[in-house]
């Protein structure tokens, strides 16, 4: 199933279900909002826990392949566009900031290897639509190198199992992989922010799989680490 179809069918549950990442999302949102200004493109929906006040000061467009995922933003009066991160419909150098909130791990073409290629394609597109000196913000779940290689080896089976439930493959990349692609796409001044809520416990329940909202696991058993990477498009 294509991500657009999957998210059109699951948008209601996605927005109604607390995934258990609230405090992390809160910290990431405040971090992003301290940095973004001017004309901003958010690809793959909005950054969760965004503040309406912060957003109202921006010239913001939200892009997504799923019309149902865009619906609440459109209804809130935000400018939206049905668009694919891999082939954006915007002219070169149109934005001061581009945010990718929890979207890159969904762009996989159903294989671990293809997912790496697709991330390169997306970041190339982001580079194209950013003004020189503009900034990219990637909010993601990162994995350690060993987990990344296990994930690669397990991807065919993961794909099969998720496929039975009608869920497209997701691939969580390592922060090192994202940094490498950013450097290859001529981004500079890379920085990383790891949200670390003081009251978080490894036992806190999270719902790690969109499409299986009944599945809850303790955070400590899910080997991902939220990160916000940012970088500047070189002149
Ligand atoms: C996990 S949701 C994140 C939604 C929101 N950003 C958030 O963090 O709550 C992933 C989003 O990425 C969108 N998406 C998936 N593939 C995409 C693509 N190729 N281009 C643009 N959006 C895409 C999905 O439709 C979905 O809205």
Measured by CA distance, the residue closest to atom 24 of ligand 1 is 44
Measured by CA distance, the residue closest to atom 1 of ligand 1 is 102
Rounded Cα distance between 136 and 153, Å, is 30
Maximal CA-CA distance, the chain: 48
- Name the CATH code of domain 3-233 (choices 3.40.50.150, 3.10.129.10, 2.40.10.10, 3.60.70.12): 3.40.50.150
Mutate to test the pocket of ligand 1, among 103, 126, 169, 226 (most ligand atoms within 8 A of CB): 103
Written as tens digits, the pLDDT of the chain (235 aa) is 789 999 999 999 999 888 878 889 999 999 999 999 999 999 999 999 999 999 999 999 999 999 999 999 999 999 999 999 999 999 999 999 999 999 999 999 999 999 999 999 999 999 999 999 999 999 999 999 999 999 999 999 999 999 999 999 999 999 999 999 999 999 999 999 999 887 878 888 888 889 898 998 888 888 899 999 999 998 8
Look at residues 100, 125, 58 and name the one whose alpha carbon lies nearest to residue 230.
Answer: 100
* pLDDT one-digit tens code per residue, 77-113: 999 999 999 999 999 999 999 999 999 999 999 999 9
Atom of ligand 1 nearest to the CA of 210: 1
Please give the distance, rounded to the nearest whole angstrom, from the Cα atom of residue 85 to the centre of ligand 1. Answer: 9
Amino acid 20: pLDDT: 79
Residue 49: both structure tokens together: 């826990």
Tell me the CA distances in angstroms from 70 to 20, 44, 195, 235, one per residue in order.
Answer: 22, 9, 26, 32
Please give the distance, rounded to the nearest whole angstrom, from the Cα atom of residue 173 to the centre of ligand 1. Answer: 16
Measured by CA distance, the residue closest to atom 25 of ligand 1 is 66
Amino acid 17: pLDDT: 87
Q: Is the CB of 104 under 6 A from ligand 1?
A: no
Q: Is the CB of 66 under 6 A from ligand 1?
A: yes
Q: Is the CB of 46 under 6 A from ligand 1?
A: yes
Look at residues 110, 209, 102 and name the one whose alpha carbon lies nearest to residue 165.
Answer: 209
What is the enclosing helix (H) or strand (E) of 98? strand 95-101
Q: Is the CB of 69 under 6 A from ligand 1?
A: yes
Tell me the CA distances in angstroms from 81 to 15, 71, 134, 173, one per residue in order.
Answer: 19, 10, 21, 27
* The model's pTM: 0.96
């Amino acid at each position: 199933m294509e991500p657009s179809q999957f998210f059109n069918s699951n948008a209601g549950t996605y927005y109604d279900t607390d995934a258990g990442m609230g405090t992390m999302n809160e910290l990431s949102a405040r971090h992003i909002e301290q940095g973004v200004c001017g004309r901003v493109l958010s690809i793959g929906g909005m950054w969760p826990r965004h503040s309406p006040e912060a957003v109202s000061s921006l010239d913001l467009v939200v892009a997504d392949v799923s019309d149902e995922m865009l619906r609440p933003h459109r209804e809130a009066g935000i400018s939206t566009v049905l668009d694919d991160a891999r082939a954006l419909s915007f002219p070169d150098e149109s934005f001061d900031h581009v945010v990718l909130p929890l979207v890159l791990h969904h762009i996989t073409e159903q294989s671990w290897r293809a997912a790496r290629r697709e991330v390169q394609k997306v970041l190339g597109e982001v580079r194209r639509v950013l003004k020189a000196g503009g900034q990219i913000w990637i909010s993601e779940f990162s994995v350690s190198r060993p987990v990344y290689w296990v994930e690669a080896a397990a991807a065919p089976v993961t794909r099969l199992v998720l496929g039975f439930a009608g869920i497209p493959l997701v691939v969580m990349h390592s922060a090192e992989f994202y940094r490498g692609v950013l450097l290859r796409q001529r981004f500079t001044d890379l920085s990383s922010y790891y949200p670390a809520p003081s009251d978080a416990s490894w036992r806190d329940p999270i719902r790690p799989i969109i499409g299986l909202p009944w599945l809850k696991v303790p955070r400590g058993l899910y080997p991902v680490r939220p990160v916000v990477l940012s970088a500047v498009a070189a002149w």
